[in-house]
Chains A and B, each alone.
Chain A
Amino acid sequence: MKFLSRTLIALVTIMMAFTSTVTAFASENNAVEILRAAGYEDYFIDELSDEELSEYADKITNDPASVGKEEFVFEVDNISEIQEFVNTSKEVLIAQGVTTDQIDSMQKDIDYIANSSPKELSDQYGVSSVEAKMLIEATQEDDEYKRLDCSNDNIATASGSISSSKLSFTMSYTNRGTSTPSYNFTIAYNWKSPYVTQIYKDAIAVAWAGGFVSDYLSSSANYYRGTVLQGWITNSPVMMFDKNGNAKKTNYVTYPWSSEKEPNKGIKFFVNQSRSVYQNTTASNKSGNVKFRLTSNTTGGKNQTCEVVAQFAHRRFAVTPSIGISTSGLTASLSINSAYDKSDQKDVKIKN
């Protein structure tokens, strides 16, 4: 009888566990569908924890005004990136903090392109013969190469190119619904194809107005193997090591972004464009997120509409980088110098 009772309890427990797993699974799928229907792309959804996913789905369904998002696509021109690298001396790069290992790694990729024929590149990697020809031409040093010399605000960019890498970027928030206004922000990004320049640090800058206090929550940058010609090799294992020095394989490696706070007005996040993950293997930052919380510094809030702006900056120039954060009244802005190719600034409005 005792045995039967225990068996029955075990059976019921297993059934309950199974049922709740199925329910959780179904609910997670449902949440994903809710986010997709609200216009969130999969790369953003992938960066959310289960708890965050449920929170978003719940708010989108029951209180859509408490959720906001902005997104954009940012393009970098591979041909210009190659030209920039091959026409910048090693000395200048080293003076900007680039290591010889990083330079050698990038040079290896450039040499590979330079030593191939257009047909080889075209056949092997599926790029058009014209794109292959232009990539090869870009690898040749040019005595007459003239770097664009003007303030970043004055740079005009062509609205079409032969070879470009695109980054998708989403900034979104949920209103926590607390008596003192407080918002959880998630910024997610995803390079659709790899970029050429891999020797510097990229940045995400955020600025806000209205006297919010920030808490850094978490971040991650996901490194995959890939090159401009090959694309991302998501199924190719990247080697990394555990604390005992044993090699282990994974499809990608994750590192956090570093952050620099400017109290009450902004955060700058930085991360390496690439990392050496195994002997001479380099992996590049493909996707990831930064998450932070903004809470009004006035108990109960002031109910003013305030601006939060964000920008992605991909560094490719051997110029000392600078990112400025400023606020004026209830508006905020970022000024990023010519060390970077930068996206447009995107803003969302929240209440303090």
Chain B
Amino acid sequence: MKQNSISIKILFTLVVIILICTILFNGCSDIMDNIKPNAEQWALNNTGQVICEQSGSSNIDINVMPVWEKTHGSKNVLLGILDTGIEDTAGLPLYINEKEIPNNGIDDDANGYIDDISGWDFYNSDNSTFDKYINDYHGTYIANTIAGNQNNLLGVAPGLTIVPLKFMQGTSGDVSRAIEAIEYAHKLGIKIINCSWNIPIFNQDLYDVIKKYNDILFVCATGNECLNLDKTPIYPASYDLENVISVMAIDNRGVPYDCSGYGKTVSLAAPGVNIISNLPDGDVDYISGTSIAAAFVSAAAGLLISYDSSLSPKQVKELLIKNVSKTNSLSEYTEAGGYLNVYDALISI
């Protein structure tokens, strides 16, 4: 009788273990099943498919799919989108400030910002980080390119946590508000800040704050004015700092985007032409620009830090630059002489 009872207990335990494993396994496998890029997402998986009437070249992509077998990003890695606002949707892992009680009008965490539940709007000085489609589409698009998982479109690192740092409306903003946002980001423990914007004139205050926070990696777009940044620098992309990485854009054949900033002072290239991603209201569309190229590199940095949290911004920058997919056409356009290869960077850790 006692033996029977033990057998039943063992059997029960086994069934429970099997059930838990099945749930866990199915849960994991659901996440992994979802990690299959849409055929339009050539930057994640380029098989030579035609995008916006242009045939691509096979394997001119960021080589991220094998990385997803190891990590799709840790929620503990905070990535700040210093941009417009971001629409909060179920498919986007936005930061939640657990120390703040929503809408009680009190600065519960005493950080100087009242009810900053999910980032802050430095443009309007309030806690609403999404106001209007046309004002906040750019940040929404960048955030989804990095970490979205909706409308059958995948971000590069959907496991990361995205923090909205709104300082632009539409396509422009005041850089002094960006500096304030960087201070805020540092207090939150943000590891990477995506800067898909630029200013044409050296700004000492911006330089100083980026230099001061050398535990944050700043991933910067090189602008869409077809400038040689060696001769005509733009900022923050051209700040010569170990925690600044600058990114130019290429198309689905590996050809530089005709409006992209370039030069030997530009760190590396990444996809930035005819990139499909999510916009507010459930819309999707293609956008071109170095904004998007920077987003891919930010996401890649997020994956590396998720894989090894001890990496410093300097180390992440070196890994990304040293492990690009080299091409002749990019040798004169970038320091690295190639475009982003996330997998090669990851296995070099």
Are B224 and A156 interface neighbours, CB within 8 A?
no
Interface residues in B289-306 by Cβ distance below 8 A to A read 289-292, 294
Report Cα–Cα, A162/B84, bound state, in Å.
14
Residue of A nearest to B235 (CB): A156
A residues 101-127 in Cβ contact with B at 8 Å: none
In the complex, what residues of A have CB within 8 A of residue B171's CB?
A: 77, 79-80, 157-158, 161
Indicate if the CB atoms of A75 and B225 lie closer than 8 Å.
yes
**Which of A83, A149, A159 lies at the interface centre, i.e. has the most chain B CB atoms within 10 A of its CB?**
A159
Residue on A with the closest CB to B284? Answer: A130
Q: A130-B283, A160-B291, A162-B287 are in contact. Are A77 and B175 (CB under 8 A)?
A: no
- Using a CB-CB cutoff of 8 Å, which residues 195-215 of chain B contact chain A? 196-201, 203
Residues of A contacting B226 with CB < 8 Å?
Answer: 71-73
CA of A343 to CA of B227 in the docked complex: distance in angstroms? 11
What residues of chain A lie closer than 8 Å to B56, measured between beta carbons?
none
CA distance A93 to B37 in the complex (A): 49
Structural contact, B174 and A130, CB atoms closer than 8 A? no
- The distance in angstroms between the C-alpha atoms of A153 and B234, with both chains bound, is 12
B201 adjacent to A160 (CB under 8 Å): no
Tell me the smallest distance from the CB of A139 to a CB of chain B, in Å: 10
CA distance A210 to B222 in the complex (A): 32
Q: Which residues of A contact B173 (CB under 8 A)?
A: 148, 155-156
Q: How far is the CA of A138 from the CA of B279 in the complex (A)?
A: 16
Once A79-B170, A146-B124 are accepted as A-B contacts, the answer to whether A154 and B199 lie under 8 Å apart by CB is yes
- Tally B residues with Cβ within 8 Å of A: 53
The interface residues of chain A lying within 8 Å CB-to-CB of B131 are 144
Distance in angstroms from A74 CB to nearest chain B CB is 6
The answer to whether the Cβ of B178 comes within 8 Å of any Cβ in the partner chain is: yes
Chain A residues whose CB sits within 8 angstroms of the CB of B174 once the complex forms:
148-150, 154-156
Q: How far is the CA of A142 from the CA of B279 in the complex (A)?
A: 20
Whether A158 touches B290, Cβ cut-off 8 Å, given contacts A142-B132, A166-B259, is no
Contact of B223 with A by CB under 8 A: yes
Interface set, chain A 308-336, CB cutoff 8 A to B: none
Whether the Cβ atoms of A80 and B290 lie closer than 8 Å is: no
Interface residues of A in 153-202 (CB under 8 A from B): 153-162, 166
Selected contact of A137 from candidates B134, B198, B221, B232, CB within 8 Å: B134
The answer to the question of A28 belonging to the interface, with a C-beta cut-off of 8 Å to chain B, is no
Shortest C-beta distance, A42 to chain B (Å), equals 14
Closest-CB distance, A150 to chain B (whole angstroms): 4
For the complex, would chain A's binding face be called helix, strand, loop or mixed by DSSP majority? mixed
By the criterion CB–CB under 8 Å, are A156 and B197 in contact?
yes
Name B178's closest neighbour in chain A (CB-CB).
A156
Chain B residues lying within 8 Å of A98, measured Cβ to Cβ, are none
Decide if A346 touches B132 in the complex (CB within 8 Å).
no
List, in ascending order, chain A residues with CB within 8 A of B38's CB. none
Q: Considering the complex, which residues of chain B in the window 146-182 have a beta carbon less than 8 Å from any beta carbon of chain A? A: 167-176, 178
| Chain A residue with the shortest CB-CB distance to B286 | A128
Q: What distance in Å separates the Cβ of B27 from its nearest Cβ neighbour in chain A?
A: 34
User: Mask for B78-122, Cβ within 8 A of A = 1, else 0?
Assistant: 000001100000000000000000000000000000000000000
- A66 interfacial by beta-carbon distance below 8 Å: no
CB distance A158 to B291 under 8 Å?
yes
Bound-complex Cα distance A150 to B133 (A): 23
CB of A133 closer than 8 Å to a CB of B: yes
A63 on interface, CB distance cutoff 8 Å? no
Separation of A148 and B135 alpha carbons in the complex (Å)? 12
Across the interface, name the chain B residue whose C-beta is closest to A79.
B134
- Per-residue B-contact encoding for A68-88, CB less than 8 Å = 1, 0 else: 000111110101100100000
Residues in B neighbouring A80, C-beta threshold 8 A: 170-172
Give Cα A344–Cα B225 distance, bound, in whole angstroms.
8
Interchain nearest-CB distance for A283 vs B (Å) = 26
**B279 interface neighbour in A130, A160, A346, Cβ under 8 Å:** A130
Let me know if B224 and A75 touch, CB within 8 A.
yes
Query: Cβ of B123 < 8 Å from any Cβ of A?
Result: yes
Residue of B nearest to A148 (CB): B172
Residue in chain A with minimal CB distance to B291? A160
B130 at the A/B interface (Cβ < 8 Å)? no
Q: Is the CB of A159 within 8 A of B196?
A: yes
Query: Within the complex, which residue of B172, B224, B232 is in contact with A160, where a contact is CB–CB below 8 Å?
Result: B224
Of B138, B170, B284, B291, the most chain A CB neighbours within 10 A belong to B170
Which chain B positions have C-beta within 8 A of A153? 199, 201, 203
Q: Which residues of B contact A155 (CB under 8 A)?
A: 172-175, 199
Contact of A131 with B290 in the complex, beta carbons under 8 Å: no
Q: Find chain B residues with CB under 8 A from A227 CB.
A: none
Q: Are A150 and B223 in contact (CB under 8 A)?
A: no
B288 contacts A by Cβ under 8 Å: yes
Nearest Cβ on chain A to B238's Cβ, whole angstroms? 12
Nearest CB of chain A from residue B275's CB, rounded to whole Å: 9
Q: For the complex, what is the distance from the CA of A137 to the CA of B281, rounded to whole Å? A: 13
Q: State how many angstroms separate the Cβ of A109 from the closest Cβ of chain B.
A: 18
Instruction: List residues 47-74 of chain A with CB under 8 A from any CB of chain B.
Output: 71-74
Known A-B contacts A154-B175, A159-B294, A344-B200; A146 and B169 likewise in contact (beta carbons under 8 Å): yes
Of the candidates B134, B169, B175, B221, the one whose C-beta lies within 8 Å of that of A159 is: B221
Cβ contact within 8 Å between B200 and A134? no
Q: Find out whether the CB atom of A159 lies under 8 angstroms from the CB atom of B289.
A: yes
Most chain B beta carbons < 10 A, residue from A80, A153, A344, A346: A344
The reply on A345 being an interface residue by CB < 8 A is yes
Given contacts A154-B199, A162-B285, A162-B287, 10 further A-B contacts (CB under 8 A): A73-B258, A80-B171, A133-B283, A134-B137, A153-B201, A158-B170, A159-B294, A160-B272, A344-B234, A346-B232
Among all A-B residue pairs, the 8 with the closest Cβ atoms: A160-B289, A160-B291, A159-B221, A150-B174, A130-B285, A158-B171, A159-B291, A159-B290
- 12 CB contacts below 8 A, A to B, read A75-B224, A131-B285, A148-B169, A150-B176, A154-B174, A154-B199, A155-B172, A156-B178, A156-B198, A158-B171, A159-B198, A162-B287
